Chains A and B, each alone.
Chain A
Amino acid sequence: MASPSSKAFLSLGRIYIPLLGFNKSSGKVTYATALSINSSSGNKGLPDRGGRGSLGRRPRRDAGEPRTEKMPVDQDWTAVYPAAAPFRPSSVPLPVRMGYPVKGGIPPEKKGNLELIKIPNFLHLTPAAIKKHCEALKPFCTEWPSALDTDAKCDEHFPIKVESTDYVSAGPSLRNLSARIVHLRNYDYAMYLLTVLYHESWKTEAWEAEKTVADMEEYSWEDSPSQKNVLDLLLRMKVAGEGDGEEVRQQLLGRREVQEYKDSVTRLKNEGESESGMVQYKEAVKKVFNL
Chain B
Amino acid sequence: PLVVAAASRFLLFFLMQITVTEEPDMLFQKVVILVKGHDRAVLDSYEFFATMAAKELGITIGKVFEPPKAIERLTLLKSIHIFKKHRVQYEMRTHYRCIELYNITGCTAQVYLEYIQRNLPEGVAMEVTKTAMEKIPDHILEPLWKEIPTDDKPSQ
Contact = CB atoms under 8 A, between A and B. Distances in A.
Interface of A: 84, 119-120, 122, 124-125, 127, 130-131, 133-135, 137-145, 148-149, 151, 154, 157-176, 178-179, 191, 194-195, 198-199, 202-203, 205-206
Contacts of A195: 137, 139-140
A161 B25 CA distance: 15
Interface of B: 1-8, 13, 18, 25, 27, 29, 39, 41-42, 45-46, 49, 52-53, 56-58, 103-108, 111-112, 115, 117, 119-137, 139-140, 143-145, 152, 154-155
Chain A binding surface SS class: mixed
A139 B18 contact: yes
A174 B136 CA distance: 36
Contacts of B132: 161-164
A194 B3 CA distance: 39
A178 B125 CA distance: 12
A283 B18 CA distance: 66
B137 A191 contact: yes
Residue of A119, A131, A144, A174 ringed by the most chain B CB atoms within 10 A: A144
A159 B136 CA distance: 7
B3 A174 contact: yes
Contacts of A163: 129-132
B156 to A, nearest CB: 10
Nearest to A179: B7
Nearest to B120: A168
Contacts of B106: 142
A198 B117 contact: no
Contacts of A148: 27, 103
5 contacts: A125-B49, A142-B106, A164-B129, A168-B117, A168-B125
Contacts of B105: 141-144
A66 B86 CA distance: 50
Nearest to A205: B154
Given A130-B53, A140-B13, A140-B111, A166 B4 contact: no
Given A165-B127, A176-B5, A176-B7, A122 B121 contact: yes
Classify the secondary structure of B's interface with A: mixed
A166 B108 contact: no
Given A158-B135, A160-B133, A170-B4, A131 B56 contact: yes
A125 B130 contact: no
A163 B46 CA distance: 25
A162 B131 contact: yes
A168 B56 contact: no
Nearest to A164: B130
Given A158-B133, A165-B129, 9 more contacts: A119-B39, A125-B119, A130-B56, A142-B107, A149-B103, A151-B29, A158-B134, A171-B3, A173-B3
A166 B6 CA distance: 8
A206 B132 CA distance: 40
A126 to B, nearest CB: 9
Contact of A172 (B3, B41, B57): B3
A140 B13 CA distance: 9
Contacts of A157: 135
**Which 9 pairs from chain A and chain B are nearest by CB?**
A120-B121, A134-B56, A158-B133, A166-B8, A169-B125, A141-B108, A168-B126, A142-B107, A160-B134
Contacts of B27: 144-145, 148, 154, 158
Nearest to B113: A166
B107 A140 contact: yes
A288 B106 CA distance: 56
A122 B120 CA distance: 10
Contacts of A168: 4-8, 117, 120, 125-128
Contacts of B123: 120, 170
A203 B115 CA distance: 50
A206 B129 CA distance: 45
B119 A167 contact: no
